[in-house]
Structure 1
Amino acid sequence: MIQLQDQLGIIHSFTTTPRRIVSLVPSQTELIYDLGLEEELVGITKFCVHPIHLKATKKIVGGTKQVNFDKIKELQPNIIIANKEENTKEIVEELSQICPVWVTNIITVEDNLQMISDFGKLFNKRTTAQKWIDKINFAYLDFQKCIKDKPIRKVAYFIWANPYMVAGKDTFINEMLQLNHFQNIYEAKGRYPEIELEKIRQEGDPEIVFLSSEPFPFKDNHAFEIGRCTHHAKTIFVDGEMFSWYGSRLLKAFDYFTKMHEKL
């Protein structure tokens, strides 16, 4: 009997190691693959794009907010991997009627490392999981050395337009901003607040504005509209996966951040 606790504090029991996995979170799908569990992965979402070939070899069961329960049930999974932010409580509760739903909750780097360790235990991949943890920790320490003398700069990180929305506190994005010595001017406004561009100067007047590549496809006209509301803030299009994807993606993120600072 295997008994393990997910990041919501729910204890799950398994008689054997789960061998039929449905993943409802793109970054966690990537992690499952990187842990050597491609064969065990039977269902993914339409947003699970890394590695790209999975979309052709695995059953697509919908998105992160809308899933096809019948398709998932047909796959006869032993476990469904979800996330507190990506998937709704209603979806998790309904899917729990099919099989155990393991829910992650990732806000900090430590949360991320805990998830990798949990997956190692859950899927009997402890050695592989520990290798990923060691690689991420090493890259993290190396990155900290690279930016230790970088000044703190005020920033705003946009995730949506019409209405304009930004990343705020208690988000993995905000954790990534802090690691990069960026002070989020919207940190006190909630998790993903809707904001008024005309008030951006009084909110903190950022030195840098980040326009994420996901979930909204920002264009030059958005950069111009936002930029004219600031005091000459530098507007930068960034890879949203590097700021918002956790799991094994974090290893690539540190290298991305280092190169980003070189350009800044």
Structure 2
Amino acid sequence: MISRAVDAAGIEHAKAGSGARIVSLVPSITELLFALKLDAQIVGRTGFCVHPRDKVRKVPKIGGTKAVKIDAVRALQPTHAIVNIDENERGTVERLREFVPHIVVTHPLAPTDNLALYALLGTIFDRENEAQQLAIALQTQLDAAASRAWPRQNVLYAIWREPWMTVARDTYISAMLRLVNWQTSPAVQGGDKGAARYPSFDFDAAWLDDVDRVLLSSEPYRFTQQHCDALKQDARLKGKRIELIDGEMVSWYGSRAIDGIAYLLRYASR
């Protein structure tokens, strides 16, 4: 386990102590905090923090990941707020810094980054043993993925429609898919700009000729079988495999990544 807890913003955090009051603005992090057995210290979460379902309902909501109710957070008197570079807006985080003593910034970009994420939170909140158990389980799944020679496929991973949007290759989702040698199209890097990380596209794009599969994610847009069936009638996608995929399993980091990788291995083996 790490001896220094340095977050994605380069800030080092001291151990929190048993009196920590944690607000999580990241759905997958909220689930991870429960997996680390921090139930009693989680005092606030977003409305999108829905796992584990039997436990989050007891935690007060403080708005959404992008529409945080600052006064609601202030009323909870948190000692720590956990945020994510992709999911939360910089302006919101700066307003929270005015009254939350400790802001922990996260930014996993690949499945292996979860190992450092477990260690970071385990060290801050005195859950090193729980974090180590999660790390062992994750490494088992990473090793299972690496033990097989997966045939390369080019995939279009759709996250939105009207406009249609996909993922750049430097996103967490794209890195997850590479575990089974699925390369996301188009072959673009998003860099630090949010819009570029999730670019729009249309079905007349020339690069679509090389796509083998079109994956319609269940989130953030909830694609259904009806959308699949409609695309299968599109002559521009003739011969391509078009199917639904569980977005939570592919895009959520934290503890969900353990089951997520196992899900992806089964999915790619069909």
TM-score by length of 1: 0.92
Q: Is the contact between residue 16 and residue 126 of structure 2 (CA under 8 Å) also seen in structure 1?
A: no
Among 128, 131, 135, which residue is 2:137 paired with?
Answer: 135
Whether the 8 Å contact between 1:205 and 1:230 is mirrored in structure 2 is: no
Which residue in 2 is equivalent to 1:230? 237
* Cα deviation 1:28-78 (Å, max 9, x = unaligned): 000000000011101011011111123421110011001111111111111
- Structure 2 partner of 1:102: 104
8 Å CA contact 2:145–2:180 kept in 1: the answer is no
Displacement of 1:18 after TM fit? 5.7
Compared CA separation, residues 15 and 198, structure 1 to 2 (3 A): closer
1:235-254 per-position Cα deviation (integer Å, ceiling 9, x unaligned): 11000011100011111012
Residue 224 (structure 1) shift: 4.1
Structure 1 residue 14 displacement after superposition: 6.1
- For 1:142 and 1:112, locate their aligned partners in 2 and report how far apart those are by CA, in whole Å: 16
- For 2:119 and 2:207, locate their aligned partners in 1 and report how far apart those are by CA, in whole Å: 43
State the shift of 1:212 in Å.
Answer: 0.2
Q: Is the 8 A contact 2:14 2:124 kept in 1?
A: no
Unaligned runs of 5+ in 2: 191-196
CA distance in 2, matches of 1:216, 1:244: 13
C-alpha change, 1:15 and 1:35, in structure 2 (3 Å) is: closer
Distance in 2, matches of 1:183 and 1:120, equals 32
2:239 aligned partner, one-letter code: H
TM-score, normalization by structure 2: 0.90
* Alignment-mate amino acid for residue 228 of structure 2: A
2:194 is matched with none
Which secondary structure does the structure 1 equivalent of 2:39 belong to?
coil
After TM superposition, give the deviation of residue 119 of structure 1 in Å.
0.5
* 2:150 alignment partner in structure 1: 150
Equivalent pairs, count: 259
Query: 1:122 — aligned with what?
Result: 124
1:175-229 Cα shifts (integer Å, max 9, x gaps)? 0111111111213163110001122x44443111100000001134432454422
Q: Is the 8 A contact 2:185 2:207 kept in 1?
A: no
**Alignment map for 1:17-166 (pairs within 5 Å):** 19-99=20-100, 100-145=102-147, 148-166=148-166
Kept in 1: contact 2:170–2:189 (CA 8 A): no
RMSD between superposed Cα atoms in Å: 1.8
For the 8 Å contact 1:169–1:189, the answer to whether it is kept is: yes
* 1:132-177 residue CA offsets vs partner (Å, 9 max, x unmatched): 10111012112322xx222101110000000000011211001011
Amino acid at match of 2:85: K
Asked if the contact 1:197/1:226 (under 8 Å) is kept, the reply is no
**1:162 counterpart SS class:** coil
1:196 and 2:202 equivalent? yes
Identity rate, percent: 34
